[in-house]
Every structure is written in C-alpha cells, then in structure tokens.
C-alpha cells in the first residue's frame, strides 16, 4: 500500500550487448516503454551495442531493465550493464535516437 507517500521516480541507463542491432531492439523498446509509460530514449551505438535511458515510476523502470535482459524475439542478449542515476524528469516522451 502506498500510504500517500507518492510514487518513487527512478532513472536508469542501460547498455545491452549481444545480437541487439538489426533485430528491432530499438523499435520494440520504444513500444514497451510507451506501454509502461516510461520516458527517455534508445539508440544503437557504434560498437554494436544498444544504449537506453529510462525515466519514470521506479517499478516501471525496473520492468524496462528486466525486459532488456531478453529483448525482442530475434535478439540474443549477452549482457546488460545498468547504471542507476538521480531522476531528472527531463523527458516528455520516449524516442529512438538515430
């Protein structure tokens, strides 16, 4: 029960390694983030990894991080590095960075 303390907000940056480019990872991440009402961005990196920043309710951000451990059906996630930061509230939507 929440008891009126408000929803805890969180921010996480993740770097995902494996077969994560060319498998609709960014597009599917955006779909899941929109469904969970998580804000931020996702992008392909030059080193063939995917990087994302998630902001929102802590529980939903944690769901996004967990989802990234598997990714979309054609992905093969080898590892994920998660960095928790202070919530900044700097986003008004979730975007794919090209």
pLDDT tens track for 35-86: 999 999 999 999 999 999 999 999 999 999 999 999 999 999 999 999 999 9
How open is the CA angle 18-24-30, to the nearest 5 degrees? Answer: 105
CA distance 73 to 88: 32
pTM here? 0.92
Tens-digit pLDDT profile for residues 17-29: 999 999 999 999 9
CA distance 57 to 74: 28
The highest-level CATH class for domain 9-97 is alpha beta
Question: Would you say residue 89 has pLDDT above 80?
Answer: yes
Locate the domains of the chain by residue range. 9-97
Residues designated as active site:
26, 44
Residue 5 confidence (pLDDT): 60
């Amino acid at each position: 029960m929440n008891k009126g303390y408000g929803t805890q907000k969180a921010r996480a940056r993740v770097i995902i390694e494996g077969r994560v480019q060319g498998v609709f990872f960014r597009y599917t991440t955006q779909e899941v983030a929109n469904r969970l009402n998580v804000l931020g961005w996702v992008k392909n990196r030059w080193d063939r990894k995917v990087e994302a920043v998630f902001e929102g309710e802590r529980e939903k951000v944690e769901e996004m991080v967990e989802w990234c451990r598997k990714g979309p059906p054609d992905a093969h996630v080898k590892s994920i590095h998660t960095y928790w930061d202070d919530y900044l509230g700097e986003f008004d939507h979730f975007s794919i960075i090209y």
